[in-house]
């Protein structure tokens, strides 16, 4: 899961970013609407967390521009503007949720989870394929019922491969969804992480399609 955070207050920006990273999300954080717009247009995010009072264009302008550019990434507004009028305005502008500052971080995380379920009424949180089990809520991975310890990045990589089971993912797609915006496509970081992941899983579940990318094959069960 990759999140774009647009918040101009540096301390809060760092606090939210660190909290999300600790909970396994990949986060690109910026402090202006124009930078956020640029990233949203060039990278793929599962969610945008958006402040309203920003220097230059406001969060509502950002939201309006995103929709004008047909970028449909779900948005959660976080704002100190706490009147019902503001909340209604934000939701009507297309935000999926509006969280008033200051907020409880646990509640914020729960709302992030809700919005990133992508309108899937079944809201799958457990995936099984070929003896591999992935639990997105407890962030537990098991192979033949043996637990495997993964780093946050390895988990994000495995989550992407499992949820896109039977589809070849290119390096570009992987970097867009699992690494931050400044990722160097010329590096071998993805290969290194895949090799670590394969070692830890102790099974050849992740395949390489030479010159194309990587995939997991099998019958995927969702729960
Ligand atoms: Ca602000």
Q: Ligand 1: distance of its center to the CA of 210 in Å? A: 46
Cβ contact 75:65 at 8 Å: no
Q: Ligand 1: distance of its center to the CA of 13 in Å? A: 10
Q: Ligand 1: distance of its center to the CA of 53 in Å? A: 4
In the sheet that 126-129 helps form, which strands lie side by side, from edge to edge?
146-148, 140-143, 132-135, 126-129, 221-222
Above 80 in pLDDT, residue 86? yes
Above 60 in pLDDT, residue 119? no
Residues 100 and 20 in one domain: yes
Residues 188 and 212 in one domain: yes
Residues 58 and 156 in one domain: no
Residues 103 and 7 in one domain: yes
Residues 93 and 184 in one domain: no
Above 60 in pLDDT, residue 206? yes
Q: Ligand 1: distance of its center to the CA of 102 in Å? A: 12
Q: Ligand 1: distance of its center to the CA of 19 in Å? A: 18
Which residues are within 8 A (CB) of 178 and not within 5 positions of it... i.e. 6 or more apart? 2, 26, 153, 156, 157, 160
Chain segment 2-11, per-residue pLDDT in tens: 999 999 999 9
What pLDDT band is residue 202 in, cutting at 50, 70 and 90? confident
Chain segment 129-171, per-residue pLDDT in tens: 999 999 988 999 999 999 999 999 999 999 999 999 999 999 9
- Give residue 213's domain range: 126-222
**What is the tally of structural domains in the chain?**
2
- Rounded Cα gap, residues 81 and 89, in angstroms: 11
Nearest Cα neighbor of 109 from 202, 25, 34 is 25
Residues 113 and 162 in one domain: no
Cβ contact 196:157 at 8 Å: no
Q: Ligand 1: distance of its center to the CA of 223 in Å? A: 39
Residues 112 and 144 in one domain: no
180-201 per-residue burial string, b: 16 or more CB within 10 A, e: under 16: ebebeeeeebbeebbeebeebb
Nearest Cα neighbor of 158 from 146, 144, 142, 181 is 142
Q: Ligand 1: distance of its center to the CA of 116 in Å? A: 23
What CATH number does the domain containing 161 carry?
A: 1.10.10.10
**Range in 116-125, 136-145, 159-168, 199-208 the model is least confident about:** 116-125
6-15 per-residue burial string, b: 16 or more CB within 10 A, e: under 16: bbbeeebbee
What CATH number does the domain containing 107 carry?
A: 3.40.50.2300
Strand partners, 209: 213
Tell me the residue ranges of DSSP E strands in the chain.
Answer: 2-6, 26-30, 47-51, 75-79, 97-100, 126-129, 132-135, 140-143, 146-148, 206-209, 213-216, 221-222
Residues 33 and 79 in one domain: yes
Residues 28 and 78 in one domain: yes
Average pLDDT, the chain: 94
- Rounded Cα gap, residues 200 and 177, in angstroms: 21
Q: Ligand 1: distance of its center to the CA of 114 in Å? A: 24
Q: Considering 118, 149, 184, which residue would you say is the last residue of a domain? A: 118
Q: Considering 70, 90, 118, which residue would you say is the last residue of a domain? A: 118
Chain segment 44-64, per-residue pLDDT in tens: 899 999 999 999 999 999 999
């Amino acid at each position: 899961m990759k999140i774009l955070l647009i918040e101009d207050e540096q301390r809060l920006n760092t606090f939210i970013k660190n909290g999300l990273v600790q909970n396994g999300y990949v986060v690109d954080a910026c402090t202006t609407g124009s930078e956020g717009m640029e990233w949203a247009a060039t990278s793929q995010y599962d969610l945008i967390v958006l402040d309203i009072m920003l220097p230059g264009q406001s969060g509502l302008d950002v939201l309006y521009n995103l929709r004008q550019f047909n970028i449909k990434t779900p948005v959660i507004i976080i704002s100190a503007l706490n009147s019902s009028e503001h909340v209604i305005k934000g939701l009507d502008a297309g935000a999926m949720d509006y969280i008033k500052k200051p907020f409880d971080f646990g509640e914020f995380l729960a709302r992030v989870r809700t919005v990133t379920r992508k309108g899937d009424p079944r809201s799958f949180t457990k995936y099984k394929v070929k003896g591999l089990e992935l639990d997105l809520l407890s962030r537990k991975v098991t192979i033949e019922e043996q637990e495997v310890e993964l780093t946050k990045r390895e988990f994000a990589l495995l989550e992407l491969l499992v949820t896109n089971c039977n589809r070849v993912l290119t390096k570009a797609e992987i970097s867009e969804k699992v690494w931050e915006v400044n990722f160097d496509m010329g590096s071998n970081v993805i290969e290194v992480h895949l090799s670590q992941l394969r070692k830890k899983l102790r099974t050849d579940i992740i395949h390489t399609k030479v010159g194309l990318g990587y995939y997991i094959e099998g019958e995927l069960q969702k729960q």
